[in-house]
Amino acid sequence: QKEVEQNSGPLSVPEGAIASLNCTYSDRGSQSFFWYRQYSGKSPELIMSIYSNGDKEDGRFTAQLNKASQYVSLLIRDSQPSDSATYLCAVNRSGGSYIPTFGRGTSLIVHP
């Protein structure tokens, strides 16, 4: 069973700070990586996708990927209380599959 591991948290940061969320995965052949945000009682919403090693920035969000270390992270700059949610890391199965495996998610709390 391929695994995606995340610290469940909660991760608590003050408003305006940088929140750093981490994820490791076991499937060495995975090529596609995603971060989803899930508010309580709602379904996941795609925030970032990353396919190549390095950084990818989109607004206040930066995804970082290191395939050699099997590690993917999400940085949220200038964190806002509205960013408080659970962040799910998803990794597509190897072999060109579009089937994602999800981590358990990290709960982020941004306090004013």
Partner 1 sequence: GAVVSQHPSRVICKSGTSVKIECRSLDFQATTMFWYRQFPKQSLMLMATSNEGSKATYEQGVEKDKFLINHASLTLSTLTVTSAHPEDSSFYICSASPPGAREQFFGPGTRLTVL
Residues that bind partner 1 (CB under 8 A): 32, 34, 36, 41-46, 49, 51, 88, 90, 92, 98-105
Q: Is residue 25 within 8 Å of 70, Cβ to Cβ?
A: yes
Shortest Å, Cβ 90 to partner 1: 8
Shortest Å, Cβ 82 to partner 1: 19
Separation between Cα atoms, residue 56 and residue 62, nearest integer Å: 5
For partner 1, the closer CB: 14 or 73: 73
For partner 1, the closer CB: 19 or 44: 44
Shortest Å, Cβ 10 to partner 1: 11
For partner 1, the closer CB: 42 or 77: 42
Shortest Å, Cβ 94 to partner 1: 13
Q: Is residue 41 within 8 Å of 66, Cβ to Cβ?
A: no
